[in-house]
Amino acid sequence: MNYLLETKNIVKTYGDFTALNKVSIQVPEKSIFGLLGPNGAGKTTLIRIINQITLPDSGQVFFDGRPLQLNDVHYIGYLPEERGLYKSMKVGEQALYLAQLKGLSKAEAKKRLKYWFEKFEIGDWWNKKVQELSKGMAQKVQFIVTVLHQPKLLIFDEPFSGFDPINANLIKDEILELRNKGATIIFSTHRMESVEELCDDITLIDKANKILDGNLQEIKRQYKTNTFEVGLHSPDPDKLRKEIASKFKISTANFKSLEEDLKLNIKIDPKDSARDLIKYLSEKTAINHFVEVIPSVSEIFIKAVETNKRN
Amino acid sequence: MDKLKLIIVREFLAKVRNKTFIIMTVLGPILMIGMVALMAFVTKSSIDKTRTVSYVNKSHYFTSDDFQSTESLKFIDLSHLDIEAAKQTVKETDQYGLLYIPNSSSIDGIIKKIQFFSNESPSVIFTERIERRLDKRLGFLKMKELNIDIEKVKKAKIRSEIQLQNFEGKETSKFINEIKLGIGTIAGYFIMLFIMIYGAMVMRSVIEEKTSRIIEIIVSSVKPFQLMLGKVIGTAGAGILQFIIWGIVLGILYIFLLPILGINTNSQISQEQLEMVKEVAANSKIELLIQELWQLPIATIMISFLLFFIGGFLLYSSLYAAIGAAVDNETDTQQFMLPVIMPLMLGIYIGFAVVINDPHGTLATTFSMIPFTSPIVMMMRIPLGAPLWQIVVSLILLLLTFIAMIWLAAKIYRVGILMYGKKPSYKELWKWLKY
């Protein structure tokens, strides 16, 4: 697999505090990469190192297969968590300025801005001052500025904070479209449902250490517990429950349904298959509901962090 | 370097378009002219006021010829009244006071007996003027009494004139030194003013970028050092523009407005000052003065002013930028401001206290070498003839310190701009240097 960005053993300390301890990540090309972790784990420090805002104490960053260079900032678009605009500057002028700092010519920047302003239906903001805009409006402008120079790598740190649901959706769709057009995206967030929806790969950082990484599907497979959520019909649910409990490890399940008498989580041995379970259950009674329990990112996240805490 | 140019242009335009900046650019000269006009008006009205004084002369030493009225002093003769009646009369008017010269048999007797009655105690200048009048008359009479030939005394009055020359045999005039000192003082003061006003502007601009949270977006495109440098240069440009506009407007106002306001610049100068100026002008031959003015190392002064001005501003504004980066809002800057303002104040103080008396002494020389005070102190010394090697050494030291300082400031800046919500201590800043 081709990695657009790789970090190798990044170490960063602030005095006695270690922000990153030998963190290596691999970001596959043309994918969305989730960088996850609790507050203060070191995500932002890592992102700043990739953006060459902060220098690592040791370790290396590779971009497109070679060591990261100063000029690579032109191929990276970064939307930081702490973001804002010059308040007393006009929107258009400011967008032009920021685009030029990313290496675009004035004419080219103007052309592209026109396209994006029309797309987001904010063409009439051009001559407004930023202080007249609402927070959500300003964020739209920031998003445009981030993607305007068509960077190979896009880094979004909590991109949805401050957006209302409609605009958050708009941005989400844009992110997916950018990926489909060939951009690679690093995506750092606490909102696990958006990770679920967007990310192809994830890396989990906790207390300066990488504790989990890989393809999201594979990780889910690793974390699944061979547990199935079932809804059963029975004239005597208590009896049925006891019967099943004698064969499997069970617990009470909780899901919305219309008429099941018995709702269970049934854990089977990894050697057994779902088929055997269905066979066994259907011999006993009618099955209305049968779903494999797949751990959510949020559950994986919590589990991984707790395991890390114990170690 | 294209990015640096972009930053400089943006910073310059941001400053120049700022409302406060525009207002200050327009109001500045008006305020300054207003101040000068007010001061002139106050001085003028206090000097030009004609004071009316009555006198009762019971002595035969004085006649009414000794009490000729002048522009500022009007005398009314009340000698026909006795002193008590005269007091009563004067009290009822708004006259300044009453001069009473009693009769006495001898000149020595009379000098201690002359009295002046008034509501408020008269000004020192006024009493001195009256005393001078009386002295002139009594001195004349005394000489007569002692049988001194007045004509001979007049002839015996001698005025010596020391001709100043340096060892190369070049003639110098006393007056030129005042001008040299004036040039130096203005240059030094200008540098200090510029650093204080526009250095603080750099600082505010950094704080603004932090509070608006745009800083991280910017530094993902440019190096923090570039941003800092661009900010300093752009702000300096705006400052220079403002000063130039002030200069031009003030010049125009001076030429056109002053005559309209009817302020005669001469009238501000009191009689004594005028005499002094005349004396100085007479002593130093005018041609010599002009000649010396031309011989002033104008090129050296201009070039070194430019260099010290730029060097000083860059040095201090990099400090201001670091302070701005370290804090979250302007109120937190106080604790860091003192070490920046102190050396500036020290420079001005050294300039006025030391350079004026001993321009090339150890103390003045030392402080004109120390980079934080050198832009001010050296600028004061240069017109007075500081040796070239000292100027060069001072400039090199300034440059080296600037490089060291901007390197340190950039480190604090780099860390500080991304720190929110903390009010750092000096100890913490020290740690930042090592990050």
- What would the 3-class secondary structure string for A132-191 be? HCCHHHHHHHHHHHHHCCCCCEEEEECCCCCCCHHHHHHHHHHHHHHHHCCCEEEEECCC
Task: Supply φ then ψ for residue A126, to 5 degrees.
Answer: -45, -45
Q: How far is B228 from chain A (nearest CA, A)?
A: 14
Predicted confidence at residue B283, as pLDDT, reads 53
Q: Output the six-digit token pair for A202.
A: 């994830």
- Report chain A residues touching chain B, CB-CB < 8 A: 14-15, 48, 51-54, 70, 73, 76, 78-80, 82-89, 97-98, 100-102, 142, 145
What's the pLDDT tens digit per position in B277-307? 555 555 555 666 666 667 677 788 888 888 9
**Residue B336 corresponds to which amino acid?**
F
pLDDT tens digits, one per residue of B1-12: 588 999 999 999
Q: Please list the residue range(s) of chain A that carry CATH number 3.30.70.
A: 225-292
Radius of gyration of chain A, Cα coordinates, nearest whole angstrom: 24
d(CA A74, CA B323) in angstroms, rounded, equals 30
Give me the half-sphere count of Cα atoms (radius 13 Å) on the Cβ side of residue A282.
9
Picking from A133, A191, A197, A119, the residue whose alpha carbon sits closest to that of residue A160 is A191
Residue B282, pLDDT score:
55
CATH 3.40.190.10 residue ranges for chain B: 51-154
- Inter-chain residue contact B213 with A83, CB threshold 8 Å: yes
B298 CB-near residues (< 8 Å, 6+ apart): none
Cα distance between residue B97 and residue A31, in whole Å: 99
| Strand-pair partners of A5 | A27, A63
pTM for the full model? 0.74
Q: Where in chain A is the domain with CATH 3.40.50.300?
A: 3-221
For residues A66 and A76, give the distance between their C-alpha atoms in angstroms, rounded to a whole number: 15
Per DSSP, chain B holds a count of helices (H) and strands (E) of 17, 6
Interface test with B, best of A53, A70, A153, A157 (most B CBs within 10 A): A53
What kind of architecture, by CATH, is found in domain A3-221?
Answer: 3-Layer(aba) Sandwich (3.40)
- Contact call for residues B419 and B213 (beta carbons, < 8 A): no
CATH class of the domain whose range is A225-292: alpha beta
> Tell me, what's the pLDDT at B137?
87
DSSP secondary structure letter of residue A129: B
Which one of A53, A85, A142 has the shortest CB-CB distance to B219? A53
Asked whether the beta carbons of residue A48 and residue B221 sit closer than 8 angstroms, the reply is: no
**Which superfamily does B51-154 belong to?**
Periplasmic binding protein-like II (3.40.190.10)
Per-residue tokens: B71: 């522009």
SS3 sequence, A57-110? CEEEEEECCEECCHHHHHHEEEECCCCCCCCCCEHHHHHHHHHHHCCCCHHHHH
Is B221 close to A82, i.e. CB distance below 8 A? Answer: no
Radius of gyration of chain B (CA): 31
For an interface test with A, the pick among B11, B204, B214, B413 (most A C-beta atoms closer than 10 Å) comes out as B214
CB contacts under 8 A, B 2-41 vs A, are: 3, 6-7, 10, 14, 18
> Within chain A, which residues score under 50 in pLDDT?
none
Residue B248, Cβ density class (10 Å: 0-12 exposed, 13-18 middle, ≥19 buried): exposed
**Is B212 an 8 Å CB contact of chain A?**
yes
User: In the 8-state DSSP scheme, what is residue B132?
Assistant: H
pLDDT of B174: 64
* DSSP helix, strand, coil percent of chain A (3-state; round to 5): 40, 30, 30
Distance CA B277, CA B321 (A): 47
Find the distance separating the first CA and the last CA of chain A, reported in whole Å: 32
In the chain, the amino acid numbered B421 is G
- Is there a contact between B217 and A89 if contact means CB atoms under 8 Å apart? no
pLDDT number for residue B268:
46
Give the torsion sign (CA, A269, A275, A281, A283).
negative
Cβ atoms of residues A290 and A230 within 8 Å: yes
Nearest CA in chain B to A13: B435
Whose tokens are 């004035």? That residue is A106
For each of chain B's 435 residues, which pLDDT tens digit applies? 588 999 999 999 999 998 888 898 888 888 877 887 788 787 777 666 778 888 888 888 888 888 888 877 888 888 888 888 888 888 888 888 888 988 888 888 888 888 888 888 888 888 888 888 888 888 888 888 888 888 888 888 887 777 767 676 666 666 777 778 888 888 888 888 889 888 988 998 888 888 888 888 898 888 888 898 899 999 999 988 988 888 888 888 777 766 665 544 444 445 555 555 555 555 555 666 666 667 677 788 888 888 999 899 999 998 898 888 888 887 888 888 888 889 888 988 888 888 888 888 888 888 889 888 989 888 888 888 888 899 999 999 999 998 888 888 888 888 888 877 667 777 777 777 776
Residues of B in contact with A51 (CB under 8 A): 219-220
Nearest chain A Cα distance for residue B300, angstroms: 40
Q: If we measure between CA atoms, which residue out of B371, B427, B367 comes closest to residue B401?
A: B371
Q: CB–CB of A87/B14 below 8 Å? A: no
Q: Which residue of B has its CA nearest to A98?
A: B218
The CA distance from B217 to the nearest CA of chain A, in Å, is 7
Q: Which of B167, B155, B96, B157 has the alpha carbon at shortest distance from B130? A: B96
CB contact under 8 A, A86 and B14: yes
Q: Could you tell me how many CB contacts below 8 A there are between chain A and chain B?
A: 65
- Amino acid B279: pLDDT: 55
Helix (H) or strand (E) segment spanning residue B247: helix B224-261
Tokens of B145: 């009494």
Task: Identify whether the C-beta of residue A113 lies closer than 8 Å to the C-beta of residue A99.
Answer: yes
Q: Which residues of chain B make contact with A76, given a CB cutoff of 8 A?
A: 220
Q: Which B-chain residues 378-417 have CB contacts (< 8 A) with chain A?
A: none
